[in-house]
Structure 1
Amino acid sequence: MAEQYDLIVLGSGPGGYVAAIRAAQLGLKTAIVERENLGGICLNWGCIPTKALLRSAEVFHQMKHAKAYGLAADNVSADIAAVVARSRGVAKQLNQGVTHLMKKNKIAVHMGAGVLKAPGTLEVTSDKGTETLTAKHIIVATGARARDLPFAPADGNRVWTYRHAMTPKELPSNLLVIGSGAIGIEFASFYNDMGSKVTVVEALDRVVPVEDADVSAFLEKSLTKQGLTVLTGAGVEALTVGATGVKAKIKTKDGKVTEGDYSHVIVAIGIVPNTEAIGLEALGVKTERGIIQVDGYGRTGIPGLWAIGDVTPGPWLAHKASHEGVTTAEAIAAELGNKDVHPHPLDRSNIPGCTYCHPQIASVGLTEAKAKEAGHEIKVGNFPFIGNGKAIALGESDGFVKTVFDAKTGELLGAHMVGAEVTEMIQGFVIGKTLETTEAELINTVFPHPTISESMHESVLSAFGRTIHM
């Protein structure tokens, strides 16, 4: 007899486990299916352990620059094995936390690979055998994996994906990073701080190309100042992998092809959704390049089948997946008769993006260019950290806050930040956009002193010709 549930969640990443918890809170009999580790890629091999690595690199960076603070820290060194061990310990702690949350919320956990066999039916296979689960609703939250280069697939030895880069057996002496999105730039920043010579190759005309052009320009200048080599408008033509290194042919923006020797290569050219071999085709689920098409609540068009997270259209971010998990769980509860939940469809324009390189990047909403393309008449504010007392006191005066407003209505269209702690500050602008704030509310908000967040206020003032400290 198949186990019957109200909801089965296939995948336990930040979308899946959050959806399961919210569904359980709403009284639904819920199960979660996971083939590897509870918490998924983000918790075990992505967002959290990489931030642990980057924290170690940040502390190491500060130790090497202790003299600037009137301190002495001579002959400092890094133990890459210990740095990795700390990162893995953080991941293990949070994995155990998710396990606890499943028990606390009485969510049944089925470890194994799940395949959709029919609407409402999921077959789970593990080393213990195969079991069949049934449910009124199923959420697909199987996430994504790193995209390989077709001519040089990752081998875990010399050619790495992010997963290999998190557990290096040795510190690269000369590292090539292909791709300058968030993953590529974070690892480039980490290994540079740890002492590797780093080269970044980006096919488009600027690094972190989804960010505002001013942020991209500032970051490239900062990375170059830190000693990285940044090649934009360039492409890797070929990789020849040997026992002790990799030869790379790189075509630069001027059309010339050069050959360089590297100890290791990180491939960070995007992700592939994990939607193969889980039974979607047989059910007639609509996908585009493997991405499941959904409405604002996660409906796939197949009754009772939903999808969230990296298997759906972007941005492919953990917090977007978690938000979708709550929305979809509440939509399912409403369909099952709960009249006390009122889910709202996902608004992608209010999803922040954060990159934890050095310096940090954070943004929400439209860039200046995108706002113009959308037909807005705009007002733009910009305030540099060099005008902020707290940033100067911290020794972190490199950075700025940029804000974009609709000139006619005062609507906050976008905010873009680069510098110390901006990933913590961006939420202020996210809340403002969610509340549909205008410049008037932001101008009249009291920001605490001394904080770097005062730069947010000054940027708004700048857009309307009222800057105080610059």
Structure 2
Amino acid sequence: MTHPFDVAILGAGSAGYACALRAAQLGLSVALIDDTPLGGTCLHRGCIPTKAWLQAAKVRRTVAKAASFGIGATLGDTDPAALLAYTDGVVGQLHRGLEGLIAQRGITVIRERGTLVADDRGPGIETGATVHRARAVVLATGAAPVTLGLPVDGARILTSADALRLTALPERAVVLGGGVIGVEFASLWADLGVHVTLVEAMDRLVPTEEPGHSRILTRALKGRGVDVRLGAPVDTAEATDDGVSVQIGGETVAADALLVAVGRRPATGDLGLEGAGVAVSDSGHVVVDGQLQTTLKGVFAAGDLVAGPQLAHRGYAHGLFLAERIAHLQGRSGERPTLPRDAGIPRVTYSSPQLASVGLTADQAGPDAEVVDYHLTGNGRAQILRAPGDRETGVVRLVRRPGGEIVGVHLVGDDVAELIGEAALLVGWQATPDDVAGIVHAHPTLGEAIAEANWALAGRPLHMHG
């Protein structure tokens, strides 16, 4: 039986386009099927535009503090339309680059909505009246916002995608959800002059991170005027003539807008999965084995469709793995790839301060784990970055097994996200403090904080009390 393609990919987001690029690089013929622009949520409605808004917020915060650095500056009004134009410029440049890469690799892009089909000819993706057959099919349709049944209208009650397209900022906003998305929007809106009420039903923000780091973040947000309400579920919300009315633990809070940022669910609806023989769990995730194979032979799933951390770089990793796995199964590559473990995938919250982590927390590592905290008050670069008069509260935490390898790195502070690459290497390579104690870090850099913590774990602290 012949097939027009070696692999057909449904979804052109992080997982899908990474799979397409790597598969083409390995000599496979590839179809990439999506009725939305290449790059998916991350590029157009998520990671990139959100971080561009956060950068603009950082610029405004820096200008507001300019006098304390000895620089004369006048803080003017925020121009959301100009900010949106800047964001669109960043997205547009990256999108054009991705389009060029896809074209250069000879990938067939089918810009239509697709559904999975399977019959005696094997699996395929149907678009309109055409079924695109392939020796392997990859499902990579990503995730969509959870709305909790609230009446999202895109004007008063918003998803994160709606919030990124605003041309006028609310004066007062309620952010529902204290995870990564909610915290990032609360942080950037506060820095852009919005009065924010941040509501989280659990007892702390970003609950997957170290509790102490969550507390540092909470204090920093409160210090910038964010009304943080923990253990406070939202009962109801409705749009009014001039804003929204939100019931929070029996109290009515009036605002101009409500952002619903309580998480995302896998986009598995209306894809024909179960009818084709692909099992879907009660949570909506595609059921896969340890090689991302679904319950239908020849069909794989990647990224947010698979239960686990919803991260663009996890999607990239899944896409690369599947391209290499499919090439191996089809005899085009002699190497059998290894699927990256979720535990080794780094996490970043780009709020102010930033949180970044990889591996196990101290609690997860167990009561016998060795833990070192290096406070950034002793780091020259951290002192340079902060405005005079601001208290430095950043911390680098390393967690190791007793006498053994480093199993967790947890960071909080300004710009600490840039350290997560080294942190991922330490955890991924199962390094011990002695393995890396001899690596010289440039001075003055934030990276020296990881070196200091390593030295302390190795029993020879330098710029910290032993």
Matched position secondary structure for 2:9: strand
* 2:459 corresponds to 1:468: no
From 245, 256, 260, the equivalent of 1:263 is 256
Runs of 4+ off more than 4 Å: none
C-alpha contact (below 8 Å) 1:10/1:16 kept by paired residues: yes
* Residues 178-189 of structure 1 mapped to structure 2, 5 A cutoff: 178-189=176-187
For 1:14 and 1:419, the matched residues in 2 are separated by 28
Q: Is 228-237 or 337-346 further displaced after alignment?
A: 337-346
Task: Give the letter aligned to residue 66 of structure 2.
Answer: A
| Offset, 1:336 | 0.3
* Residues 365-384 of structure 1 mapped to structure 2, 5 A cutoff: 365-372=359-366, 377-384=368-375
| Offset, 1:103 | 0.6
Task: Give the letter aligned to residue 205 of structure 1.
Answer: D
* 2:50 corresponds to 1:55: no
C-alpha contact (below 8 Å) 1:8/1:139 kept by paired residues: yes
Q: Counterpart in 1 of 2:124?
A: 121
C-alpha contact (below 8 Å) 1:361/1:418 kept by paired residues: yes
Q: Counterpart in 1 of 2:162?
A: 164
CA RMSD of aligned residues (A): 1.4
Q: Counterpart in 2 of 1:29?
A: 29
C-alpha contact (below 8 Å) 2:33/2:114 kept by paired residues: yes
For 1:338 and 1:132, the matched residues in 2 are separated by 25
C-alpha contact (below 8 Å) 1:364/1:430 kept by paired residues: yes
For 2:45 and 2:64, the matched residues in 1 are separated by 28
Aligned CA distance change for structure 1 residues 75 and 448 (closer, same or farther; 3 Å): closer
| Offset, 1:14 | 0.8
Q: Counterpart in 2 of 1:254?
A: none
For 2:458 and 2:212, the matched residues in 1 are separated by 19
Deviation per CA, 1:224-262: give whole Å up to 9, x if none.
Answer: 1111111111111111211211111111xxxxx211111
For 1:457 and 1:89, the matched residues in 2 are separated by 38
Matched position secondary structure for 2:114: strand
The gaps in structure 2 that reach 5 residues or longer are none
| Offset, 1:175 | 0.7
Deviation per CA, 1:3-24: give whole Å up to 9, x if none.
Answer: 7111001000011001001100
* Residues 133-148 of structure 1 mapped to structure 2, 5 A cutoff: 133-148=132-147
Task: Give the letter aligned to residue 79 of structure 2.
Answer: D
Q: Counterpart in 1 of 2:397?
A: 402
Matched position secondary structure for 1:259: strand
For 2:374 and 2:130, the matched residues in 1 are separated by 59
* Residues 11-22 of structure 1 mapped to structure 2, 5 A cutoff: 11-22=11-22
Matched position secondary structure for 2:14: coil
TM-score w.r.t. structure 2 length?
Answer: 0.95
| Offset, 1:465 | 4.9
Task: Give the letter aligned to residue 445 of structure 2.
Answer: T
State the number of aligned residues. Answer: 455
* Residues 381-460 of structure 1 mapped to structure 2, 5 A cutoff: 381-395=372-386, 397-408=392-403, 410-460=404-454
For 1:422 and 1:319, the matched residues in 2 are separated by 18
Matched position secondary structure for 1:15: helix
Task: Give the letter aligned to residue 228 of structure 1.
Answer: V
Aligned CA distance change for structure 1 residues 429 and 70 (closer, same or farther; 3 Å): same
Task: Give the letter aligned to residue 300 of structure 1.
Answer: T
| Offset, 1:295 | 2.5
* 2:322 corresponds to 1:319: no
C-alpha contact (below 8 Å) 2:63/2:75 kept by paired residues: no
Q: Counterpart in 2 of 1:201?
A: 199
Task: Give the letter aligned to residue 237 of structure 1.
Answer: D
For 2:140 and 2:75, the matched residues in 1 are separated by 47
Query: Percent same amino acid at aligned positions?
Result: 37
Task: Give the letter aligned to residue 395 of structure 1.
Answer: R
For 1:246 and 1:386, the matched residues in 2 are separated by 42
Deviation per CA, 1:123-144: give whole Å up to 9, x if none.
Answer: 113xxxx322100000000001
* 2:241 corresponds to 1:243: yes
C-alpha contact (below 8 Å) 2:10/2:34 kept by paired residues: yes
Deviation per CA, 1:250-280: give whole Å up to 9, x if none.
Answer: 11xxxxx211111101001111111111111
For 2:383 and 2:94, the matched residues in 1 are separated by 35
For 1:384 and 1:422, the matched residues in 2 are separated by 12
From 227, 230, 233, the equivalent of 2:228 is 230
C-alpha contact (below 8 Å) 2:8/2:124 kept by paired residues: no
C-alpha contact (below 8 Å) 1:297/1:346 kept by paired residues: no
| Offset, 1:284 | 2.0
C-alpha contact (below 8 Å) 2:3/2:135 kept by paired residues: no
Q: Is 435-444 or 221-230 further displaced after alignment?
A: 435-444
* 2:300 corresponds to 1:300: no
* 2:59 corresponds to 1:64: no
For 1:52 and 1:307, the matched residues in 2 are separated by 30
C-alpha contact (below 8 Å) 1:296/1:346 kept by paired residues: no
Q: Counterpart in 1 of 2:218?
A: 220
Deviation per CA, 1:54-94: give whole Å up to 9, x if none.
Answer: 11111111011101111011243211110011111211221
* 2:356 corresponds to 1:362: yes
C-alpha contact (below 8 Å) 2:437/2:458 kept by paired residues: no
| Offset, 1:320 | 0.4
TM-score w.r.t. structure 1 length?
Answer: 0.94
Matched position secondary structure for 2:131: strand
| Offset, 1:412 | 0.7
Q: Is 209-218 or 115-124 further displaced after alignment?
A: 115-124
Q: Counterpart in 1 of 2:172?
A: 174
| Offset, 1:466 | 3.3
Q: Counterpart in 1 of 2:39?
A: 39
For 1:155 and 1:442, the matched residues in 2 are separated by 52
